[in-house]
Structure 1
Amino acid sequence: MTTSAIKILLIEDEFILGMDIADTLTAEGYRVVGVAEDYTTALELFQAHTPDLVLCDVQIQGPYDGIGVIRRLSAIRSFPVIYLTAFTDTVTFNNAKETRPAAYLVKPYQLSTLRTSIELALHRFTEETIEAGTPDEEVPEHEVTLGRDSILRIDEVIFIKKDGRFIKIQLTDIICIIAEGNYVMIKLATTRYLLRLSLGMFLEKVNYSRLVRTHRSYAVNVTKVDNFTESEVMILDQTYPISRQYRDDFLRSFMIR
């Protein structure tokens, strides 16, 4: 498979409840990498599967509560977290707030609320990652909106919205991008996706140096190229045009000795 659903680590020490939440998330198209009941299991799953997001019950058994587990996982790398809790007291909330969660959901909660919280958590985490790379730039406050053609990026991964859900695509798996009227087609080895964007806008949003424009209607992943001439490039037995206007940019993407 060239794409995969968003990977979620669930930290919940009530077995039946944990399985119920995991089944619900799986039915919604997410990939639950595991259900951890304590810090040791959470750490093993976190390191083995590199989840995109963590759902964590605040009150779990063991040497560390949910907040303590998140503090220790956050020391390894940054990630968005959503707390699930039955507690609404100020002390618990303030302790949780110190770990900068994306959301704090009080049980019972609606599935639609959880789904929206997951999407916003990923979006905000991406925004914060981008801002962290440009700390001197002042970013105005704005309302977060996720349109059907939103593109999110974390490292070598993008998320595109399809049927109300964000689908993960590895940038390294993309073969080419093809303009089709007001749309672009993202072509992978076995899958294709359509987005209502111009080719130029898509390349600007994704900002991936390996995707290089070869024609007004085509951009290819140069790491996938099998061979090329001055007028065309071949990838997996398919040819794509190289126009004179973009030929130099295409050649510059290779290290010429």
Structure 2
Amino acid sequence: MTALGFLYPGHSAEDDYPRIEMLIDSDVRLAVVHTDIGEDAHRVDALLRMGAPERLSAGVEELRLSGAEAVVWACTSGSFVFGWDGAHDQVRGLAQAAGLPASSTSFAFAHAIGELGVRRVAVAATYPSDVADHFATFLKAAGAEVLSVRGSGIITAAEVGTWGWDEVLAMARAGDHPDAEAVLLPDTALHTAAHISDLERELGKPVLTANQVTVWEALRLVDRRVNAPALGALFTKEPVIQA
């Protein structure tokens, strides 16, 4: 059995993880430990506090007891707001605290883009525009060409967690760009696990969502691949062979 650990801020769309575990349909177990969200606000100052080392390290012991072989900070905005270098420092600190391979959702997006072999992307975010722009800056540092960024102005994760298919599809369509090779939906508070294959069919291209790429990243850390078509192109495509 492969056991993977996730530090998830607060309570919004954590039920995506048991759903993803079911869709993977293999000997993979996903353990979710909740961290203190502090102030529920998609504001840079609040997000920096949410991703502070002491908040992440508080959940490490519980993940160790779960038998996790790797840990991912399951939060996009609470990682990319630190910038490319700061997000690396955050992950290094988490790896040291846990004694395990570690990453974050922001790096999961960067690695997933590389896995799909795409470069030109569109961002459809729940966040206010200024926060969404921070994500675009992070992606550009990873080598992606961000063709468009659309923020939805949602301040709290609690509100995002109430969105269903209609809202998710409308945001994805509005945020797409005709020249984008993939569309990115970067909020782990957004329920997407049940919708990924439908989103890809509607948009006609790969769709990367936060909880989806977070689980894929944890699998990558332990060098494990699974085939799960319901989770989209990321979970079916063969790895890109670098020249």
TM-score by length of 2: 0.29
The structure that is strand-richer by fraction is 1
Larger radius of gyration: 1
Which one scores higher on RCO, CA 8 angstroms, separation ≥ 6?
2
TM-score by length of 1: 0.28
